[in-house]
């Protein structure tokens, strides 16, 4: 694979599905995990895109993830349900939970699903956006193993603990927020290591909690907010409460590390998804008019010199349109890992799919 080779998204999609089938994952697992990773790659969230495939394959082979999970309702009433994901790959539990939340919101005006015994689910925005594309407001939370210090702290406490929200906009792409509550996600540190790129200032720390821009020296991440990092740390707590406390799952500092070395023990992670039906609050025409006026006025507001004012999600939609046309270039570590896994699993390499 040449270092500047663009690979169509369709080939990446097919390679992921072949790889999941080759390690014995059922069709639902392969579909959900591939959808989530392609969401990340398509929207430019490369840290949570297809570069996660080798990790998921390792976890499926090792037993951390259940290759044939049986998801089931284990609690709740009315518009609230609790879903046990049976140690599924995290995207399966999250997509299944959001689909049920949307169904509940159609009948009750809102649907809330707490997901137990899930695992790393990748880009939180994939699940919020699924709701927006169905005409609902979607919100998703998850916690993860500790890697983010508190404001003024010098130990790992929270995970990157993402928060995502997506809102439909009639005649336009959804308003779309997907953010880690750390200054950057840890997967971006790994990506920068692969690319040999220096980290932005104030985003990560060494083992003593001292800021570093050297990706090789990073031991923990900083909370979002820089000098006002107490805000990011508190937002991480919001995600922690929804995804761990409400689900009865492990707090960040009790979750086994994502990178192992134990790839056989399930991590006992939780997630929480919420769908809101706008028509439970006002008529659809009124909601649509309000959202259109909001985003149109936002984009038309005065910008600083040589700058562009964007609504949340605008950058991601720009990237998605470009990548739909041109595909993507894999970072060197991911490209090498894909070649290695193709050989180990006896499947065509990503560059040969759709060619042979």
Strand, helix or coil at 91?
helix
Q: What is this structure's pTM?
A: 0.94
* Interatomic CA distance for residues 26 and 141, integer angstroms: 25
The DSSP secondary-structure symbol of 46 reads G
Residue 166 and residue 176 in contact, taking contact as beta carbons nearer than 8 Å: yes
pLDDT band for 356, please (50, 70, 90 cuts). Answer: very low
203-218 pLDDT per residue, tens? 999 988 899 999 999 9
Cβ neighbours of residue 290 closer than 8 Å, sequence gap 6 or more:
none
Residue 103 and residue 113 in contact, taking contact as beta carbons nearer than 8 Å: no
Residue with tokens 């046990």: 84
By residue count, the chain amounts to: 356
What residues form DSSP beta bridges with 69? none
* Interatomic CA distance for residues 34 and 122, integer angstroms: 10
110-168 pLDDT per residue, tens? 999 999 999 999 999 999 999 999 999 999 999 999 999 999 999 999 999 999 999 99
Q: How are strands ordered across the β-sheet holding 204-205?
A: 156-158, 148-149, 220-221, 204-205
Ordered by where they begin, the domains of the chain are 9-298+305-345 (3.30.1370.60)
The DSSP secondary-structure symbol of 81 reads E
Strands 156-158 and 80-84 turn out to be unpaired
How many CA atoms lie within 13 Å of 53's alpha carbon, on the beta-carbon side?
36
* Interatomic CA distance for residues 197 and 37, integer angstroms: 23
Residue 184's pLDDT is 86
What are residue 122's phi and psi, to 5 degrees? 75, -135
* Interatomic CA distance for residues 258 and 262, integer angstroms: 9
What percent of the chain lies above the pLDDT cut of 90? 90
- pLDDT surpasses 50 at 353: yes
* Interatomic CA distance for residues 267 and 281, integer angstroms: 38
Where are the alpha helices (H) located in the chain, listed in sequence order? Answer: 9-22, 27-42, 53-62, 90-108, 125-133, 186-195, 229-240, 284-300, 314-326, 332-345
User: For residue 299, what are its two tokens?
Assistant: 């984009």
168-193 pLDDT per residue, tens? 999 999 999 999 999 987 777 887 88
Strands 269-276 and 137-142 turn out to be antiparallel
295-324 pLDDT per residue, tens? 999 999 999 999 999 999 999 999 999 999
Complete DSSP assignment for 114-143:
EEEEE-----THHHHHHHHHTTSEEEEEE-
260-305 pLDDT per residue, tens? 999 999 999 999 999 999 999 999 999 999 999 999 999 999 999 9
* Interatomic CA distance for residues 20 and 110, integer angstroms: 34
Q: Which of 2-11, 99-108, 119-128 has the lowest mean pLDDT?
A: 2-11
Residue 175's pLDDT is 98
Residue 150 and residue 182 in contact, taking contact as beta carbons nearer than 8 Å: no
pLDDT band for 49, please (50, 70, 90 cuts). Answer: very high
Of 167, 198, 166, which is closest to residue 290 (Cα–Cα)? 167
67-96 pLDDT per residue, tens? 999 999 999 999 999 999 999 999 999 999
234-251 pLDDT per residue, tens? 999 999 999 999 999 999
Of 293, 317, 297, 309, which is closest to residue 169 (Cα–Cα)? 293
């Amino acid at each position: 694979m040449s270092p500047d080779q663009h690979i169509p998204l369709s080939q990446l999609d097919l390679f992921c599905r072949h790889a999941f089938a080759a390690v014995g994952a059922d069709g639902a697992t392969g579909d959900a995990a591939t959808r989530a990773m392609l969401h990340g790659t398509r929207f430019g969230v490369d840290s949570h895109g297809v570069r996660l495939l080798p990790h998921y394959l390792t976890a499926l082979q090792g037993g951390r993830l259940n290759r044939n999970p049986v998801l089931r309702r284990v609690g709740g009433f009315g518009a609230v349900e609790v879903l046990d994901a049976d140690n599924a790959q995290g995207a399966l539990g999250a997509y299944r939970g959001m689909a049920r939340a949307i169904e509940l919101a159609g009948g009750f005006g809102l649907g809330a699903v707490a997901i137990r015994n899930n695992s790393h689910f990748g880009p939180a925005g994939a699940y919020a956006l699924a709701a927006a594309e169905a005409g609902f407001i979607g919100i998703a939370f998850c916690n993860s193993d500790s890697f983010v210090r508190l404001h003024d702290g010098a130990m790992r406490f929270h995970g990157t603990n993402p928060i995502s929200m997506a809102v439909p906009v009639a005649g336009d792409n959804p308003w779309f927020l997907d953010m880690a509550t750390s200054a950057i996600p840890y997967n971006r540190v790994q990506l920068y290591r692969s690319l040999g790129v220096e980290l932005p200032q104030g985003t990560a720390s060494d083992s003593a909690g001292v800021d570093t821009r050297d990706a090789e020296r990073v031991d923990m991440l900083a909370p979002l907010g820089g000098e006002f990092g107490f805000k990011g740390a508190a937002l991480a707590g919001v995600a922690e409460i929804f995804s761990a406390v409400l689900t009865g799952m492990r707090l960040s500092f009790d979750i086994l590390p994502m990178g192992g070395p134990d790839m056989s023990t399930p991590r006992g992670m939780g997630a929480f998804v919420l769908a809101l039906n706008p028509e439970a609050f006002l008529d659809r025409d009124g909601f649509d008019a309000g959202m259109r006026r909001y985003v149109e006025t936002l984009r038309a507001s005065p910008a600083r010199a040589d700058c562009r004012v964007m609504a949340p999600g605008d950058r991601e939609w720009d990237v998605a349109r470009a990548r739909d046309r041109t595909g993507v270039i894999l970072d060197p570590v991911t490209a090498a890992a894909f070649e290695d896994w193709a050989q180990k699993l006896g499947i065509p390499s990503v560059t040969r799919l759709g060619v042979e």
